[in-house]
A = this chain, B = another copy of it.
Amino acid sequence: TKTEVFTITEMREPALEKDNTDKKTRIFEQYVQPCLVELLGTMLFVFVGCSSVIGNVGTTGAIQPAVAHGLALAVLIMMFGQISGGHFNPAVSLCAYLCGGMELLLLVPYILAQMLGGMVGASFAKAVLPPGLYANSAGGALVVLSNDLVTVTLAEIIMTMFLTLVVCMGAINSQTQTPMAPFCIGLTVTANIFAGGMVSGACMNPARAFGPAVVANYWNHHWIYWVGPIGGALLTVTFVRFVLGDRKTRIWL
């Protein structure tokens, strides 16, 4: 069927399929464990991300935040991809669902877990980094760096399109799947921060924006970090479903 499942069920232990598995265990492994993993992974990603931004003083450029975000994400997807798919990003979950890489039932719980994980991660960053630096950097929240909001939104759309394309082609689309997908996804984040970090902060992830916005109570232009990433994800879905996907994924030809 069209609605194939990503890495979530594919790599399950064989015993899972059997009827004699305890029902509680099956529910835990299919629903509870993946959601907890999304929460924990997003927490660690946002903790590292916010801390690397808050502490990036006296250095030049975006190298430290760019590399920290990219590596943390790559490692977390490599670790948790087999359990939850390793999204840690509502735009990625939406895109994975629409490209046939995730069950509908998990979509809303994943997004809630990611938003909660973002808040917890941002709280730990606040607890740990020096208050002066925390205040100066809006707690690692995303800050719009241009007056032209259309430009900023466009930047988020393009960069998230790139990111979600790597997710769909590298981890879902069977013709192009690769075990290196986690590194590809993380390193796309690094490259994008070098490309558009000085325009929009290169968020590409509403949960990364939402967590520190809540904790630092910083909401300036927050909508951009939902509209841009979701727009980019929908663009990717269009490309994959009409042009880039394999026969199983394409909805024509």
Contact = CB atoms under 8 A, between A and B. Distances in A.
Interface of A: 11, 13, 15, 22, 24-25, 28, 33, 36-37, 40, 44, 47-48, 51-52, 55-56, 58-68, 70-72, 74-75, 78-83, 124-125, 127-130, 146, 151, 154-155, 158, 162, 165-166, 169-170, 175-176, 178-180, 183-184, 187-188, 190-192, 194-199, 239, 243-244, 246-247, 253
A191 B48 contact: yes
Given A58-B60, A196-B128, A180 B52 contact: no
26 contacts: A22-B253, A36-B244, A37-B244, A47-B158, A48-B162, A48-B191, A48-B192, A51-B194, A55-B194, A55-B195, A61-B63, A64-B66, A68-B190, A68-B194, A71-B188, A71-B190, A74-B184, A74-B187, A75-B187, A75-B191, A78-B170, A78-B180, A83-B176, A83-B244, A127-B151, A128-B155
Contacts of A60: 58-60
B79 A184 contact: yes
A34 B138 CA distance: 44
A191 B80 CA distance: 17
Contacts of A197: 55
B79 A169 contact: yes
The A interface is mostly helix, strand or loop, or mixed, namely helix
